[in-house]
Structure 1
Amino acid sequence: MIEIKDVTKIYTSKNRQVIGVDHVSLTIQAGEIFGVIGYSGAGKSTLLRCLNLLERPTSGQIMIDGVDLTSLNSEQLRQARLKIGMIFQHFYLVSSKTVFENIAFALKAANKPKEEIEKRVNELLDIVGLSDKRDAYPAQLSGGQKQRVGIARALANDPNVLLCDEATSALDPSTTKSILTLLKKINRELGITIVLITHEMEVVKDICDRVAVMQNGKIIELGTVYELFTNPKEELTKSFINSILQFEVPDHLLQKRTGTMVKILFKGESAEEAIVSDMLQTFKVKGNILHGKIEYIQNIPLGVFIMELTGERKEIERALDYISERTNGLEVIAHAA
């Protein structure tokens, strides 16, 4: 378990103070994949680097498995960091060393014997799918392969926690998917707690169990990924979610409407039921679906449909009541003039 207790990080620059992290408290459960999302400058990377004291908090405590890292001396902290792996956006591989040597570096730094290093590196190469690249150099690898080396290196000393600082930001969408799949596999098979920093809600949707939204050094919203997708409270959270679900109705559709335009939210089982079809058969209204999308978040469906209903006003109102009773959200966007 990771406990972040009232952590603040203040930088002093040119006789002025800049607050990077502002009184943040979080509990991250052992074995979960926890995301922290925010735009550039939100403080998320600073918070991540506080977790292994690459940035020492100005105040507050970092507790990992009951140990307060801020209270450790240099040697104790070095030992504690062996159990905290870190993956970076830009890989940071040594260009003059092979894949094997880049991964072995972390083990050599921990004073592991040669035979153990050989065995462990081969195990890690198998885990990340790079057994055939053992003797290759970084210049011979793709971006995704370089990040797999970075992941293997971070896993070298069998950590309990894996910190990922924008680990997929330098990768194309297809490669990002493969890296996220690998991280999820590592989490499930090895039981490693993963803390993942990103500015992409798609990454959060694909891999995280819970997520915190950061702005101006503070946590402004926190919950399971499904909770935030279905019921976001803050405008920043809504903007992140809209980037995936695209809730906004184009102006030209609003201008052309001849009926009542509604947005319908389906959660869980309701997203898989024929509610709209049943409504159209039950009431004397016609329906035109203008936009529709179902996303699976943590394997639970979330559907959004935008429809235009035409017919007599009373019949439309009855149809809307029917939908409202059977779904998780109904918003009338506009009535025809």
Structure 2
Amino acid sequence: MISIQHLSKSYTSKEEIVVGVDDVSLEIQGGEMFGVVGYSGAGKSTLLRCMNILERPTSGKVTVDGIDLMSLSSKELREARQSIGMIFQGFHLAMSKTVVENVSFALKASGVGRIERKERAEELLNLVGLSDKANHYPAQLSGGQKQRVSIARALANNPKVLLCDEATSALDPNTTQSILQLLKKINHELGLTIVLITHEMEVVKEICHRCAVMEDGKVIEEGNTYDIFAAPKHQVTQKFIQTVLDFTIPEVLLEKCKGTIVKMKFTGESAEEAVVSDLLQEHNIRGNILHGKVDYIQEQPLGTFVMELTGDEHEVRQALQSLHTTLAEVEVLKDGRSVGSIMA
């Protein structure tokens, strides 16, 4: 659906050339929800704006639904953009127009008749749950309601792609959840390809099938969202994952515990099996859970537990070896003598 090949975007100032996007290649499949995550200045918003040529790339190729956008004339590009909806962090609504007029405006610009515009706008407001706000003005709406109007407007011309630039970063957590569920509903019911730019890994975890992590204009890691969470490879990705799955154990607790403290990551089927309880019985050792959580990413379980193991030293070592061969990751935080790690 969206093919980005060796795309770069640079800006020339009086003193230097600033690179916003640096040789990025991505393939985004039709009907998927794809997240691009990165810290401020990573280049993710510039990349998104290059996807519909709001920012013209310095080099590279952007193909959407088989059309090479870089090769189009200005008129052809305007027509192609009708199949690419876009929503922004700042909503970008016309404050002097009612909700239904804001949604209708995109249809009017496309030459749709008045009666058909009204019917389509009402249909979209029903889809986003704002039928009762049709004649309100943006100033009368909450932030979440304004974003729903923006989404309805972006869907007006039946786009095949929806680009979302930090669509939830200005919203509170509860409102963010409602907008994410709406985007999930739109993806499922309309089959839209959705590209979501964000600096919040929680957003990616919630709805994205696949994701890419950016730093300094480059994609440093890309893959299935579950795989990225289960085994992040780059240090920046690991920091992002920590914001969602943080299992930092206070030093004072480590000092108090006398046994071996181990952090275990359970993926796939192992997250649903009684791996630890079976192990404790087999080796006749005791386990004290210090921290634990199971998250569901794309409906697949991902568990992380921190446990103190006590008992015969030889049996504890045997248990650790068994864990090492069974689980995705085993890290010894403290064994009474040293700190080390065992990675699968």
**TM-score of the aligned structures, taking structure 2 as reference length:** 0.96
Aligned AA (1:151):
I
CA positional deviation for 1:320:
1.8
**C-alpha distance after superposition, 1:142-184 (max 9, x if no partner):** 1100000000000000000000000000000000001000001
Aligned AA (2:226):
Y
Residues 138-153 of structure 1: matches in 2 within 5 Å? Answer: 138-153=138-153
Q: Distance in 1 between matches of 2:194 and 2:317?
A: 48
Structure 1 residue 251 corresponds to structure 2 residue 247: no
CA positional deviation for 1:307:
0.7
Q: Distance in 1 between matches of 2:109 and 2:137?
A: 20
Aligned AA (1:25):
S
Which residue pairs with 2:202 in the alignment? 202
CA positional deviation for 1:324:
2.8
CA positional deviation for 1:321:
2.6
Which residue pairs with 1:17 in the alignment? 17
SS of 1:122's partner is helix
CA positional deviation for 1:230:
0.8
Please list every run of at least 4 consecutive aligned residues from structure 1 whose deviation after the TM superposition is greater than 4 angstroms: none
Which residue pairs with 1:319 in the alignment? 319
Q: Distance in 2 between matches of 1:125 and 1:279?
A: 55
Q: Distance in 1 between matches of 2:274 and 2:149?
A: 47
Q: Distance in 2 between matches of 1:40 and 1:321?
A: 42
CA positional deviation for 1:118:
1.1
Which residue pairs with 1:50 in the alignment? 50
Which residue pairs with 2:104 in the alignment? 104
**C-alpha distance after superposition, 1:7-54 (max 9, x if no partner):** 110001223110000011111001100000000000000000001111
SS of 1:120's partner is helix
Residues 71-110 of structure 1: matches in 2 within 5 Å? Answer: 71-110=71-110
Q: Distance in 2 between matches of 1:22 and 1:324?
A: 39
Aligned AA (1:172):
D
Which residue pairs with 1:155 in the alignment? 155
**C-alpha distance after superposition, 1:193-226 (max 9, x if no partner):** 0000000000000010100000000000000001
Aligned AA (1:94):
A
Which residue pairs with 2:29 in the alignment? 29
Q: Distance in 1 between matches of 2:102 and 2:294?
A: 42
CA positional deviation for 1:251:
1.5
Q: Distance in 2 between matches of 1:74 and 1:182?
A: 33
Gaps of 5+ in 2: 338-344
Gaps of 5+ in 1: none
Residues 224-243 of structure 1: matches in 2 within 5 Å? Answer: 224-243=224-243
Which residue pairs with 2:61 in the alignment? 61
Residues 183-332 of structure 1: matches in 2 within 5 Å? Answer: 183-332=183-332
Q: Distance in 1 between matches of 2:163 and 2:64?
A: 13
**C-alpha distance after superposition, 1:44-103 (max 9, x if no partner):** 000000011110001111101111111111100000011100000010111111000000
Aligned AA (1:134):
A
How has the CA–CA distance of structure 1 residues 89 and 315 changed in structure 2, closer, same or farther, with 3 Å as cutoff?
A: same
CA positional deviation for 1:279:
1.9
Which residue pairs with 2:340 in the alignment? none
CA positional deviation for 1:253:
2.0
CA positional deviation for 1:254:
1.9
Which residue pairs with 1:114 in the alignment? 114
Query: What is the number of residues matched between the two proteins?
Result: 337
CA positional deviation for 1:273:
1.3
Identity %: 62
**C-alpha distance after superposition, 1:258-292 (max 9, x if no partner):** 01111111111211111212222222211111110
SS of 1:82's partner is helix
Q: Distance in 1 between matches of 2:26 and 2:279?
A: 44
**C-alpha distance after superposition, 1:108-146 (max 9, x if no partner):** 111111111011101101110100101011111111000
Aligned AA (1:106):
A
SS of 1:7's partner is strand
Aligned AA (1:10):
S
CA positional deviation for 1:232:
0.8
Which residue pairs with 2:341 in the alignment? none
Judge which range, 317-326 or 189-198, deviates more. 317-326
Aligned AA (2:240):
F
Aligned AA (1:259):
G
SS of 2:21's partner is strand
Q: Distance in 1 between matches of 2:22 and 2:320?
A: 45
Q: Distance in 2 between matches of 1:179 and 1:112?
A: 28
CA positional deviation for 1:328:
2.2
SS of 1:112's partner is coil
CA positional deviation for 1:327:
2.3
